[in-house]
Structure 1
């Protein structure tokens, strides 16, 4: 597996709340990470949350679970729950750092395709879970929070961000 750093940028924008009761954060930034989707160990698929994986070096985006937008190679935008970190539940602190994007309501094969991940709103910190069941329960909650975020996030800002970066 290649660990070359994906391209990154920080783009001005506005991110919406994770839950309807949260107040929107105006002038928050989007972090852009892009690169080709790589095969992983298929753990997300086994848990019911298949992911698009991008290797990510230290210092590129903060670890955590995020609400995001994935821009596919054909230009479509798909909301996603994104995990950035070392997957400590399975690999401890020695795991390879990875960006894993679970694209909501999406089932196409995009291995090898170049995608852009617009990281918008931090849902929570990374944590180690005591069981796979506890992890799956939290992942369901993270996806629900992402859906709520996507309902109130102005999608035109992602388009404006695309225009800002020249793509």
Structure 2
């Protein structure tokens, strides 16, 4: 996907928290890392085949995968995520990226549901307090083996998480 020699100005980071994980997109990408999305809640409603992420200042956050993508790939990803259909929008947010045994702050894009999607799917922070999408991740042993942090329900395994947020 991205060569080290390529101009870093044409590259950005994007968080994969749902089907990017279960569809094993990491197998087709280089330099995929574990990341933590603070102050956000992943919500899975059983009527859909994918989760949503909502801002939630009271929640530690959740673990996801971080992908490096070229800017020209965003059009394809936006289509995949239903941006043109009004399902999601792409927003840059602060995240924590695993680097060796520590976590560092970075900025990355994430797909969040539009107000219309929130209304259409009756989404709220009360819908899924347990992060049910983790059960979908568990159905993929190769994902669990490569990225065991994805099975964690909060950021307690991150040293000094409160000071990083």
Q: Same fold (TM over 0.5)?
A: no
**Structure (1 or 2) with the greater helix fraction:** 2
TM-score with structure 1 setting the length = 0.28
TM-score (normalised: structure 2):
0.28
